[in-house]
Structure 1
Amino acid sequence: MAELNPALIPVSLYIHMPWCVRKCPYCDFNSHAVPEGKLSLELEQEYLHALVEDFKTQVDFAQGRAIHSVFIGGGTPSLISAPGYQWLFTQLQAIIPFEADCEITLEANPGTVEHDPFAGYLAAGINRLSLGVQSFNTEHLKRLGRIHSNEDALFAIGLVHEAGFQRINVDLMHGLPEQTLEQALNDLKLAVEHGATHISWYQLTIEPNTVFFRTQPVLPLDEVLEDIQEQGERYLKAQGFVNYEVSAWRKELPSAHNLNYWQFGDYLAIGAGAHGKVTRPDGVYRFQKTRLPKDYLAKVPAEHLQLKRIEESELPFEFMMNALRLNNGVDTKLYSERTGLSVEHLNGLLDSLRQRHLMVEDISRIACTEQGHIFLNSVLEEFL
């Protein structure tokens, strides 16, 4: 394994806000309901201060690099106030600077009890908003355990535009309980017509440790799911959206933060249950933080860190699991730059996949064909 050069690799920052108004039955994320659906100012300030102390322990991981992008996920990050974020960004940038054009994304829910005025978030430095709409059908939203309605969602998108946001992602799920083709397509239509510049469109999956796993809902038949996927993709392409990753569609710039994940870049991570990845000259490491908010707040920052080196044998799969999600894949030279491994060791496997029309013929790129994306899980298994 060759020595790695972290200076060549962008480093992003993930911030986890672990609270929600209510836990959704399909959700397996690290999220926890807050009493009365609103964080107290005292708890918000305690958590924000803990994030700053946490960040101080990761200065060495940055290795002189400025922060390339920031993503604030959850939970419901918009439960935190706009002034809280303004204070947080000031503190963080005093520890590790942000790049001048740093993309800062906030996940927000459409419910009015879950956010400050959107203009406040823009003023705080957040320049990209991701709205967790999931569906514009009120009945489907009720089944998903969401507390907003169709009207709330449309109203929220309007408020985001009025606030001055230029980059607006709308999260939508399809394959919802008893959802028809027409209903799924209508969700996409409403997102497009109301000015989404980026759409994350993915199929509902039933995950272990969720309410839906214990009490399985009635999902659409496979034939309906196939029709939704096919006609939904056709519609988005006709509207000028580009499908640059398995579930990501854009009319604007791609998400810089997610692109860094998919290109096997580095990311620091602060907050309860947050996961990070850092490259050092001797290898690639992952770490994660204490999961429960009360435990996270109770421990000193150094105790949060559990650093684990990714074994050399695991790196090909780890890299491909991210890179092959991109429709155009990645430049072949990125493999060696980000793993320290020679791509020559994969030549036999890559040639085999190309001969089976699962990967593109261009040897300067590592990318799946359309057929390869259909059977992506099978392709990835070959790198284990």
Structure 2
Amino acid sequence: MKNQHSGQPAPFPEEGRPAIYPVGDVHTEAGGVVLDAAIAVQRWGELRIASDGSTNIILVEHALTGDSDAVTWWKGLIGPGLSLDTNRFCVMCTNALGGYSGSTGPSSPHPDGRPWGSRFPALSIRDLVTAERQLLDVLGIGSVAAVIGGSMGGARTLEWTLMHPERVRSAAVLAVSARASAWQIGIQSAQISAITNDPEWLNGDYHSSDGYPHEGLAAARRIAHLTYRGEQELDERFGTDAQKGENPLGEYRDPEQRFAVQSYLDHQAEKLVERFDAGSYVTLTEALNRHDIGRGRGGLNRALSEIRVPTLVTGVDTDILYPYHQQEHISRNVGELLGMAKIVSPVGHDAFLTETRQVARVLRRFLLLAADADGETSG
């Protein structure tokens, strides 16, 4: 657990300030190599290391288009006195390998100085965990108190419990499945196609051109956002209303005349295009397509049964993308179940991000149960 460059652990990141660490080459599950990779990370709260090497770190895993700034995208959950109490814990969040917020991804410079582009290897969820584990090695961190994540972050959390169980004392898995379903692969592949069929995609090498697959990424986000929100919520908010000042019921179809829900989706698409990279979107969506904790481990149920890290499982009752029955399946088969929780919300999949009060209760319960399982007092 030493920095391979200096022989000593790297300095711990300053509180609340993004830091980027070189983690060396990352060898992918499929045989590729990300040369000279770097991982971005932020932390809140003071690091404490016990005599046995255990720490008070809670490692928070972000979703598909998230980043290391967890206090922003999980607002109201991380801080002094909050459910992830930074008076007690050191909360850390990395930006996933392949992402677009400081970690090495397709838009990053290759060691030859040009963008990685189409040369960036395909990644699996396990590869994201490998890169994160290499970061902990660089920082000299042997183990963490907990790993917590939702959606793609939940997939990473599951893989942590199987790949490095000796380094994780507890885990909370939210709004994800034990493997990608055919439906998930289908809807996610449609998003990838929207991007790769954009004429400005240029086989992923647009970073070296004057163009950008804007329309493809926007279309992918519209498709995705419909899976993130609940049908009931969208219908109650928008119904068949026209966007203010527009008329979608004219004699001929006019893309400038929209229903209100179309305007909403356009807005969500533009927000993503402004802050995210199309290559990273394709890379991380492909990683989700490859998500399968049973691969090479004797199948799903056997893999789940071998999880000995105390694990809390949480789902959303209206989730279209990762239906609640998928979390029930995890809870029925996981080897060391702390408990099962349900978030009740019309919002759908994104409820694990938006239902702050319910999620806070889930996380507080998780930490109490984890402390009991670890032999600590729960006071």
Calculate the TM-score normalised by the size of structure 1.
0.30
**Which has a greater percent of strand?**
1
Calculate the TM-score normalised by the size of structure 2.
0.30
**Which has a greater percent of helix?**
1
